[in-house]
Amino acid sequence: MFRNRREGLALALPAAIFSTLLFLVPVAILLSEAFRSDTGFSLQGYVDFFASPLNRSVFLRTLKLGVLVAGSAAIIGYAAAFCIVNLPGKARGTVFGMVVLPLMISPVARTYAWIVILGRTGIVNDAIVGLGLSASPIRLLFTETAVFLGLLQLFLPLMIISLVSAMENIPRDVIPAARVLGASWLNVFFKVILPLTKEGLVIGGTLVFTGALTAYITPAILGGSKVLMLETLLYQKVNVSNDFVSASVIAMILIAMSFAANLVLKRIATARS
């Protein structure tokens, strides 16, 4: 049919222009803010940001929690995905649905549940005091553990979904074939399952790591100002100290880390094969 390019562009451009004006340009200006000074280009914003011990520790904590959450999600994800794939058809759909469902529910609701669980009068503390492990409730909220649990609960489904769809593409008889050839289960995992699902691991890993990095609600509710992460720090910088240069630096770090995570994971995946 006479599909000329002008017509195609006319259809695609409104969305592209909308995205450019309301998203790309403002974000680009924000990112450039840290590179600007009265004298022109400058990296002073970055130097100042990393000179602060608080900023450094928040940066490292964010990185650490991101890696921990992604790593734990991968381990649990493989176990869960393997079990799901081996379920009979109907049960498989139901369980998979139950894994996907939490994604549709407000993160505020999902995170708030942890307050009930980990709070001073929550079930965990009730149990601890009840069992006599401690005389008074211990602080579980506003700890890295709380943030870690919240983030893991929030993003684990993404890992499971990625791994399930990767495992569904493993040819049917490959695993029995490997077993017949004498491979132990450990061998089967590292020599067969892992190489065949690394695409899914890369996607899931990037989603979970990036998600953990850029989550706001969870560190805000479960970490508060005691356990700051980059997102909550950014909010503070803007709302408390009006420090837009630091905000710009954090924005750049978050974006760079997301891209880096994807690149590193891809590199690892290709190096293995």
Partner 1 sequence: MRHFANWGILGLTLIFLIGPFVIIILAGASAGPNLAFPPEGLSLKWYAKVFTIESFRASFVLSMALAVFGTITALVLGIPAAYALNRYDLPGAETIRTIVAAPIIVPGIIVGLALLRYVVVPMNVTVTVALFMAHTALVLPYAVRVVSSSMHNLRADMEEAAVLLGCSRMQAFTKVVLPNIRGGVLAAFILGFVTSFNQVPVSLFLSGPGVRTLPIDMLAYMEITFDPSIAALSALLAFMSLAIVFVAERLLGFSRYV
Q: For the CB of residue 234, give the shortest distance to partner 1 in the complex, in Å.
A: 6
Give least dist CB 58 to partner 1, A. 14
Cβ at position 238, least distance to partner 1 in Å: 6
Least Cβ distance, residue 273 to partner 1 (angstroms): 26
Nearer to partner 1, 67 or 119 (CB): 119
SS3 of the chain: CCCCHHHHHHHHHHHHHHHHHHHHHHHHHHHHHCCEECCEECCHHHHHHHHCHHHHHHHHHHHHHHHHHHHHHHHHHHHHHHHHHCCCHHHHHHHHHHHHHHHHCCHHHHHHHHHHHHCCCCHHHHHHHHCCCCCCCCCCCCCHHHHHHHHHHHHHHHHHHHHHHHHHCCCCCHHHHHHHCCCCHHHHHHHHHHHHHHHHHHHHHHHHHHHHHHCCHHHHHHHCCCCCCHHHHHHHHHHCCCCHHHHHHHHHHHHHHHHHHHHHHHHHHHHHC
Nearer to partner 1, 14 or 40 (CB): 14
- Residue among 24 and 177 whose Cβ is closer to partner 1: 24
Our CB check for partner 1 shows the closer of 26 and 272 to be: 26
Nearer to partner 1, 29 or 272 (CB): 29
The least CB distance from residue 155 to partner 1, in Å, is 11
